[in-house]
């Protein structure tokens, strides 16, 4: 059996409150322990001096596009991008073509992920059949097929009654309902945040209220149903505050921030570049400040990328025609370091918790820990290495990245999945 010794790294495992320089041992597919292990003979050693050794990162909000839009991404290329970004597990969104709304569709994802042999993939099932908002999908069958949560992401669930029933039904399986909070009447025709910048540019805006009224509605529904609610990509100060107050009332709601929503503002649209067009849209500095406060006080316990690949010929269209979203897997770590670690907003253990054990808990998956006996999914981070973001070098099939040319620090050095070294940089 292979025995791997990861020597002398800063081991950070928030699931056990560990932050210390130590060796970490892997035997076969599992974590074998920390410190000196006289009973183990390493067959392989990785020197992690000066590096951070943590549970494999989990990105619970990824669009892999397969089946149906393989020109944008496939399960194989998306999971290769995940590994290059230090991510060992992704949860994939069901807005594929056809939508991931059946047991067979969930099983297909597991099969393709196994074939690709890169990161673990956990499918998120659609809330409604075909994601058309009218009728609940076969939740029980999807759970049977391995779906770990439910969402109609890409779209909101417009009907409050359907959302209420989804929360009730998913509660029976202890699965979270993940919401893309958007009131489509308030955001109709919008291409960016509604505010001073949209007026200046003469572009139609999406008001903050378009997000806030839906977060408010769904928190109320989580309260009456006792269901588990997760708010995807929170982009507004008001949204952060609603989640904070919901938690204070004891409602089962978790919150997620994306790196772009805490680094970029609506001013980025001044160049009419569609790489800054997303839904929810980039907001203002005040919203960024509120999201960072929410990350600091635990209101937002998860950071996820909303990795949304679009082939260049689509994303290059004029702003009002271009699809929403950007890729994010391969810029996750450096952007978090730049925006959260370097200014001192979060400590390393706090950041790693939001990228490991916290999303694992939301999804109820047995990952995100370095406990002895756990599956050996490990990310080794070089926190100091300087590099320049160049989307042409990415593993993702798509290139819609707003950070091209940014000089950043920090990157995945090596990624271990089930005890196997899947990715390593020199």
Nearer to Zn ion by Cβ, of 306 and 330: the residue is 306
Nearest to 422 by CA among 21, 56, 48: 56
Nearer to Zn ion by Cβ, of 218 and 306: the residue is 306
Distances from the Cα of 369 to the Cαs of 53, 274, 334, 356, 375, in angstroms? 11, 38, 22, 7, 8
Phi, psi of 7 (to 5 degrees): -100, 140
> Cβ 64 to Zn ion, closest distance in Å?
11
13, 306, 375, 382: which is the annotated catalytic residue?
306
> Cβ 372 to Zn ion, closest distance in Å?
35
> Cβ 295 to Zn ion, closest distance in Å?
19
> Cβ 68 to Zn ion, closest distance in Å?
15
Q: How does 88-127 read in b/e, with b if 16+ C-beta sit within 10 Å? A: bbbbbbbbbeebbbbbebbbbbbebbeebebbbbbbbbbb
CA-to-CA distance for 197 and 201, rounded, in angstroms?
6
Nearer to Zn ion by Cβ, of 153 and 266: the residue is 153
Nearer to Zn ion by Cβ, of 152 and 266: the residue is 152
> Cβ 285 to Zn ion, closest distance in Å?
22
306 is annotated as an active-site residue: yes
Nearer to Zn ion by Cβ, of 153 and 330: the residue is 153
Nearer to Zn ion by Cβ, of 13 and 306: the residue is 306
The answer to whether 53 and 376 are in contact (CB under 8 A) is no
Nearer to Zn ion by Cβ, of 14 and 259: the residue is 259
Phi, psi of 307 (to 5 degrees): -50, 115
Interface ranges with Zn ion (CB under 5 A): 153, 180, 306
CA-to-CA distance for 151 and 166, rounded, in angstroms?
9
CA-to-CA distance for 50 and 384, rounded, in angstroms?
9
> Cβ 94 to Zn ion, closest distance in Å?
10
- The widest CA-to-CA distance across the chain, in whole angstroms, is 69
315, 321, 324, 327 alpha-carbon torsion, rounded to 10°: 0
240, containing H or E segment: helix 237-248
CA dihedral over 208, 210, 216, 222, signed as positive or negative: negative
Nearest to 381 by CA among 420, 328, 423: 423
Total Cβ atoms within 10 A of residue 44: 11
> Cβ 281 to Zn ion, closest distance in Å?
11
Distances from the Cα of 245 to the Cαs of 176, 183, 236, 284, in angstroms? 19, 21, 14, 22
Return the structure tokens found at 18.
């560990």
Which position's Cβ is nearest Zn ion?
A: 180
- The answer for residues whose C-beta is within 8 angstroms of residue 419's C-beta and 6 or more apart is 2, 4, 26, 27, 28, 29, 30, 376
> Cβ 180 to Zn ion, closest distance in Å?
3
Count Cα neighbours of 184 within 13 Å in the Cβ-side half-sphere. 8
Nearer to Zn ion by Cβ, of 91 and 352: the residue is 91
Indicate which residues carry an active-site annotation. 306
């Amino acid at each position: 059996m292979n025995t791997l010794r990861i020597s002398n790294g800063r081991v950070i495992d928030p699931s056990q409150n560990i932050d210390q320089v130590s060796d970490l041992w892997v035997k076969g597919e599992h974590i074998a322990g920390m410190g000196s292990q006289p009973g183990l003979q390493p067959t392989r050693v990785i020197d992690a001096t000066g590096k951070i050794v943590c549970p494999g990162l989990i990105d619970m909000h990824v669009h892999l596009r397969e089946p149906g839009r393989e020109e944008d991404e496939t399960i194989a290329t998306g999971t290769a991008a995940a590994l290059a970004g230090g991510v060992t597990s992704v949860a994939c969104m069901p807005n594929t073509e056809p939508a991931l709304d059946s047991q067979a569709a969930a099983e297909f994802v597991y099969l393709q992920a196994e074939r690709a042999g890169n990161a673990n993939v956990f499918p998120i099932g659609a809330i409604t059949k075909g994601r058309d908002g009218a009728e609940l999908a076969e939740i029980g069958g999807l759970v049977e097929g391995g779906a770990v949560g439910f969402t109609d992401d890409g779209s909101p669930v417009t009907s409050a009654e359907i959302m209420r029933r989804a929360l009730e039904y998913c509660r029976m399986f202890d699965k979270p309902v993940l919401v893309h909070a958007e009131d489509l009447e308030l955001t109709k025709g919008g291409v960016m945040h509604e505010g001073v910048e949209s007026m200046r540019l003469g572009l139609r805006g999406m008001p903050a209220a378009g997000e806030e009224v839906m977060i408010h509605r769904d928190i109320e529904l989580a309260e009456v149903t006792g269901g588990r609610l997760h708010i995807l990509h929170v982009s507004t100060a008001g949204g952060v505050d609603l989640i904070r107050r919901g938690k204070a009332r004891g409602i089962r709601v978790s919150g997620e921030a994306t790196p772009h929503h805490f680094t970029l503002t609506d001013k980025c649209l001044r160049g009419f570049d569609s790489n800054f067009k997303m839904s929810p849209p980039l907001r203002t500095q005040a919203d960024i400040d509120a999201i960072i406060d929410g990350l600091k006080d635990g209101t937002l316990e998860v950071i996820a990328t909303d990795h949304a690949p679009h082939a260049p010929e689509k994303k290059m269209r004029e702003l009002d025609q271009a699809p929403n979203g950007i890729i994010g897997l391969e810029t996750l770590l450096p952007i978090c370091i730049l925006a959260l670690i370097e200014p001192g907003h979060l400590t390393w253990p706090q950041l790693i918790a939001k990228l490991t054990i916290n999303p694992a808990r939301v999804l109820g998956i047995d990952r995100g820990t370095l406990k002895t006996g756990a599956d050996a999914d490990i990310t080794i981070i070089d926190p100091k290495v300087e590099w320049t973001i160049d989307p042409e070098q990415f593993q993702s099939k798509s290139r819609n990245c707003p950070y091209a040319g940014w000089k950043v620090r920090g990157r995945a050095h090596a990624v271990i999945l089930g005890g196997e070294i899947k990715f390593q940089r020199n």
